[in-house]
Amino acid sequence: MTEPPAAPHSDPTSLNGHPLVVAIDGPSGSGKSSVARAVARDLGVGFLDTGAMYRALTWWCLERGLDLADRRAVADAALVLPLQLATDPDAVTVQVDGTDVTAAIREPRISQVVSAVATNLDVREILVRRQRALVAETAGRTGGCVAEGRDITTVVAPDARVRVLLTASVEARLARRATELHGTADASALAATHDEVVRRDRDDSTVSRFLEAAEGVTTVDTSDLDFAGSVAAVLDVVHAGAGVAP
């Protein structure tokens, strides 16, 4: 584990001293990972990207030559996955069995097949347990935790003080992901990105609820917001929901 983040800009804990947990759900390309990191940085608390866990497991299974369609074998791998996640928003790294896979798990070869792992219900049950433990450990160590991914607001952290569904139009999400992956949002880049964004959301939505806000979850639509505006909008929800002044 890396060192915990610096002291918060404002006290993230509630009046009764409990750590602040912020849960952020949302579809692909909504900006939830980068926004969640920035929110955690502003609050001075830990950050957890739960999607990285599914990607890391996918990477490990491929490295070991496992068939991702063998649901039992992949679930068995999840049970023993030697995963280390750094939760400092300024130094987010992912290691598997001592190998830094932070960049490798974002490669197209992982993005194209990660849904096979993420839709494995046995895997989800195993990783959700690890995610809950990580949220609790991180929040206890740093005074709070901003966790993002699928099922965060409804399954992993349904009792989080603040729960947000970060969403955007399909057009906006495609443009963002295309720019992130290809450096441009021209027609060819959008076409190359379409499958990753639209298909993954379709596949993942069969086992996870992240396209519509559950009861008690605040929706933040970032379609017409830039990055700074998106972060500010989520922080507004956090400050209102946690009763903490900006």
Asked whether residue 188 is marked as a ligand-binding residue, the answer is: no
Cross-strand bridge partners of residue 166: 220
Helix (H, G, I), strand (E, B) or coil at 74: helix
Task: Tell whether residue 33 is among the known ligand binding residues.
Answer: yes
8 annotated as ligand-binding: no
Q: Is 31 among the annotated ligand-binding positions? A: yes
Is residue 140 a known part of a binding site?
Answer: no
- Considering only CA atoms, which of 6, 125, 140 is closest in space to residue 75? 125
CB 120 within 8 A of CB 71: yes
| DSSP string computed for 7-65 | PPSS--S-TT-PPEEEEEE--TTS-HHHHHHHHHHHHT-EEEETHHHHHHHHHHHHHTT
17 assigned to a ligand binding site: no
Annotated binding residue at 26?
Answer: yes
Q: Is 230 annotated as a binding residue?
A: no
Q: For residues 209 and 206, what is the distance between their CA atoms, to the nearest angstrom?
A: 8
30 is in an annotated binding site: yes
**What is the Cα–Cα distance from 243 to 246, expressed in whole angstroms?**
10
Task: Bin 158: left if φ > 0, else alpha if -120 < ψ < 50, else beta.
Answer: alpha
DSSP, collapsed to helix, strand or coil, labels residue 86 as: coil
Binding site members: 26-34
Q: Which residues are annotated as a binding site for ATP?
A: 26-34
